[in-house]
């Protein structure tokens, strides 16, 4: 049934977000730390486990896939409720303080990505085959 899928998703959401809230409390800050991330990891593991046990039928899966298809429309609605007015009208310093960090970080993306890609190991230190 569709509702089983929605309920599984809701279970992951509630558990993960709650863990994020508690983690935030634990380290003494007023914010959710990683709630969505925990929920996502939980969903991946649960999904794996259910598939292995053959408990996941098409309809149940549909209850989760429906929401991932709704993602972009929800993001469109989200962008329509942003405080764009304040962003446009708050003057040059806010514009720069928002944009400069983004440019700095964007420039760092390729650097860090190179770190994460598995590289071929060479035993002779700096030998790179030419071909």
Q: How far is the CB of 48 from another protein (least distance, A)?
A: 7
Buried b (16+ CB within 10 A) or exposed e, 88-118: eeeeeeeeeeeeeeeeeeeeeeeeeeeeeee
Q: In whole angstroms, what is the distance from residue 62 CA to residue 5 CA?
A: 7
Rounded Cα gap, residues 47 and 16, in angstroms: 15
SS3 79: helix
Choose between 93 and 130: whose C-beta lies nearer to another protein: 93
3 binds another protein (CB under 8 A): no
By CB under 8 A, the residues from 37 to 56 that bind another protein are 37, 39-41, 43-45, 47-48
Binding residue for another protein (CB under 8 A) from 77, 119, 126, 127? 77
Question: Which residues touch 103 (CB under 8 Å, ≥6 apart)?
Answer: none
CB of 129 to another protein, least distance (A): 23
User: Mask 91-110, x = binds another protein (CB under 8 A)?
Assistant: --xxxxxxxxxxxxxxxxxx
CB nearer another protein, residue 3 or residue 99: 99
Among 53, 54, 58, 73, binds another protein (CB under 8 A): 73
């Amino acid at each position: 049934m569709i509702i089983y899928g929605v309920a599984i998703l809701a279970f992951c959401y509630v558990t993960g977000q709650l863990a994020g809230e508690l983690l935030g409390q634990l380290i003494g800050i007023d914010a959710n730390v990683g709630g969505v991330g925990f929920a996502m990891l939980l969903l991946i593991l649960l999904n794996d486990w259910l598939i292995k046990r053959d408990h996941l039928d098409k309809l149940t899966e549909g209850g989760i896939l429906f929401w991932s298809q709704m993602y972009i429309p929800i993001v469109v609605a989200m962008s329509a409720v942003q405080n764009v007015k304040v962003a446009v009208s708050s003057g040059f310093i806010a514009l720069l303080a928002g944009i400069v960090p983004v440019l700095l970080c964007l420039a760092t993306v390729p650097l860090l990505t190179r770190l994460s890609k598995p590289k071929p190991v060479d035993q002779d230190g700096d030998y790179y085959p030419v071909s």
